[in-house]
Amino acid sequence: MSEYIEHDKNGISVGLVEKKFFTFAEPPDELILEGGARLGPVTIAYETYGTLNADKSNVVLILHALSGDSHVAGYYSKDDRKPGWWDIMVGPGKGIDTNKYFVVCPNILGSCLGSTGPSSINPETNKPYALDFPMVTIGDMVTAQKALMDYLGIRKLLSIIGGSIGGMQVLEWCVRYPEMVVSAIPLATTTKHSALAIAFNEVARQAIMADPNWNNGDYYFGRKPNLGLAVARMIGHITYLSDESMRLKFGRHLQDKSDFSFNFDADFQVENYLRYQGTKFVERFDANSFLYISKGADYFDLESQHGSGSAVKAFSKARAKFLVVSFTSDWLYPTYQSKAMIQATKKNGLDVSFCEIEAEWGHDAFLLPNERLTLLVRGFLERVFEETRTEQHAF
């Protein structure tokens, strides 16, 4: 990271940052995936901000959601207009204070934003994997992240933070590598995808696969399934908002017109918003990555995979201190799912804090500026950081 510090609307930025790459699992030592397939070599893109302290006790691992990437904060160049996706939370003096903590964010396995995924070149064919890419689970994403931590020489994580699918990875880390995780902040997430969440993902996948340009996943040298992917993204965007937030943001306001068109133009602002989000998304995201990551999320079931169907049993492996946060208007991962998580962690005698934040913005709330969330995260990190120093923490 450069020393270049920039002031912007989010306050002080971490400044110029750089995307880095770590490659491992070279054949014949491929990564063995939960589905049984072998994958290698595997590249994980990642970024780091702040400075690793001498005893390597200040590491905060941030794990992103479906379409996120390693670029959490800062800028890639002085001309770069858009900071990383959580710049409001991560930076000097911010909720996750880069003056104190060494922040790492890897791009997830299966993505198309630097890490190995279905759009990567299959070394056996010298063409993109497409559907020859093996299914990757949340557990496989975590396995790759662990390899990155090993490479960076990090053996203890002061905290792991992530929302949505990122939150699933946080939970997986806690039960998979309990000895490494001092604390965890799962945001707006769940221990297992509900039928409703699976349903939305499935319809989004069907929209992609219905696009003839999808061509059974083999489209990297031709026209892309942009229309299908745009519809998939629109479905996602509805689930990220809420009835209330859409009423407040759009209501029944018309888009640049005073009366109905009486045709199939985008009359309403909400229609225009969705079309715009769909169109914008296809410029930066790969349809096959959407399929793989969404299916991986649907498979996620911490209780069944780590507790024979019992959340209490699954969390019996965890040792971390938890800060669980849900949002009132999140109907994709509603508060009752976080409460079930709380119950299971408490039954294991774990140190757990829970906060349901009053927020109208639905599932998206965890990504939006929220003073309450910032204070919670900052306070929790300060506490656990302090405790690792004073308590001669067991890990």
Please give the residue ranges that form the binding site for a copy of itself (CB under 8 A): 35-37, 131, 134-135, 192-196, 198-200, 202-203, 205-207, 209-212, 227-228, 230-231, 234-235, 238, 241-243, 246-247, 249-252, 260, 262-264, 266-268, 270-271, 274-275, 278, 291, 295, 298-299, 301, 304, 331, 334
CB of residue 284 to a copy of itself, shortest distance in Å: 19
CB of residue 269 to a copy of itself, shortest distance in Å: 8
Q: Between 7 and 252, whose beta carbon lies closer to a copy of itself?
A: 252
CB of residue 130 to a copy of itself, shortest distance in Å: 12
Q: Between 285 and 385, whose beta carbon lies closer to a copy of itself?
A: 285
User: How many CB atoms are located within 10 Å of the residue 217 CB?
Assistant: 20
At residue 363, the 3 state secondary structure works out as: helix
CA–CA separation, 338 vs 85, rounded Å? 24
CA–CA separation, 168 vs 193, rounded Å? 10
Residue among 164, 242, 326, 329 flagged as catalytic: 164
CB of residue 360 to a copy of itself, shortest distance in Å: 13
**131 alpha carbon, distance to own chain's centre:** 23
Identify how many contiguous H helices and E strands the chain contains and give both numbers: 11, 16
| Widest pairwise Cα distance in the chain | 70
User: Any catalytic annotation for residue 330?
Assistant: yes
Calculate Rg over the CA atoms of the chain: 21
CA–CA separation, 119 vs 233, rounded Å? 18
CA–CA separation, 43 vs 23, rounded Å? 4
Name the H helices within 81-211: 138-152, 165-176, 195-209
Residue among 71, 193, 237, 363 flagged as catalytic: 363
Pull the structure tokens for residue 316: 């019996």
> Shortest CA distance to 43 belongs to which of 104, 126, 120, 105?
120
CB of residue 184 to a copy of itself, shortest distance in Å: 23
User: Any catalytic annotation for residue 87?
Assistant: no
Q: Between vectors from CA 32 to CA 26 and to CA 38, what angle results, nearest 5°?
A: 65
Residue among 97, 286, 298, 330 flagged as catalytic: 330
User: Any catalytic annotation for residue 363?
Assistant: yes
> Shortest CA distance to 155 belongs to which of 58, 51, 49?
58
Contacts of 256 (CB under 8 A, 6+ apart): none
Q: Between 80 and 271, whose beta carbon lies closer to a copy of itself?
A: 271
CB of residue 309 to a copy of itself, shortest distance in Å: 10
CA–CA separation, 62 vs 82, rounded Å? 19
Q: Which residues are catalytic?
A: 164, 330, 363
